[in-house]
Amino acid sequence: MGKKTKVAIAIAAASAAAWAGSKAIIKPQKRDDKEVLQYGRPIVLAHRGGSLLAPEHTMPAFEKAQALGVDGFEIDIRLTKDEEIVVFHDETVDRTSDGTGSIKDFTLEELKQLNFGYNFEDLDGQSPYKEEKVEIVSLRELLEVFPNMYINIDIKDHPDTYEGSLMPSKLWRLIEEFDAQNRIVLTSFFSEQVDRFNLYAQNRVALGAGENDVRKAFTAFTSQFGHLYHPKVDVFQIPTKHGRVSLDSPRFIAFLEKLNIPVHYWTIDDEETIRSLIENGAKGIVTDRPDIAVSVLQSIQEEKAAEAE
**Residue 95 falls inside a structural domain:** no
The pLDDT value given to residue 17: 41
Structural domain containing residue 174: 31-76+148-308
The pLDDT value given to residue 172: 98
d(CA 304, CA 309): 9
**Residue 119 falls inside a structural domain:** no
pLDDT tens track for 116-139: 999 999 999 999 999 889 999 999
Inter-residue contact 73 to 54 (CB < 8 Å): no
Inter-residue contact 138 to 84 (CB < 8 Å): yes
d(CA 272, CA 249): 16
The pLDDT value given to residue 1: 55
The pLDDT value given to residue 105: 98
DSSP per position, 20-60: HHHHHH----PPPP-GGG--SS-EEEEETTTTTTS-TTSHH
**Residue 5 falls inside a structural domain:** no
d(CA 123, CA 12): 59
The pLDDT value given to residue 18: 43
d(CA 282, CA 221): 17
Torsion (CA) 37, 41, 47, 49 in degrees, nearest 10: -90
**Residue 36 falls inside a structural domain:** yes
Strand partners, 154: 76, 187
Q: How many domains does the chain have?
A: 1
**Residue 292 falls inside a structural domain:** yes
Q: 10 Å Cβ neighbour count for 62? A: 26
**Residue 81 falls inside a structural domain:** no
E strands, the chain, are: 43-47, 72-79, 85-87, 137-138, 150-155, 184-188, 206-207, 236-238, 241-242, 245-246, 263-265, 284-287
**Residue 269 falls inside a structural domain:** yes
Q: What is the CATH number of the domain that holds 52?
A: 3.20.20.190
**Residue 200 falls inside a structural domain:** yes
Closest CA to 262 of 166, 152, 132: 152
**pLDDT 10s digit of each residue in the chain, 309 long?**
555 554 444 444 444 444 344 444 445 568 888 999 999 899 999 999 999 999 999 999 999 999 999 999 999 999 999 999 999 999 999 999 999 999 999 999 999 999 999 999 999 999 999 988 999 999 999 999 999 999 999 999 999 999 999 999 999 999 999 999 999 999 999 989 999 999 999 999 999 998 889 999 999 999 876 577 889 999 999 999 988 889 999 999 999 999 999 999 999 999 999 999 999 999 999 999 999 999 999 999 998 888 887
d(CA 277, CA 194): 26
What is the distance between the terminal CA atoms of the chain, rounded to a whole angstrom? 65
Q: 10 Å Cβ neighbour count for 219? A: 12
Inter-residue contact 154 to 188 (CB < 8 Å): yes
The pLDDT value given to residue 116: 98
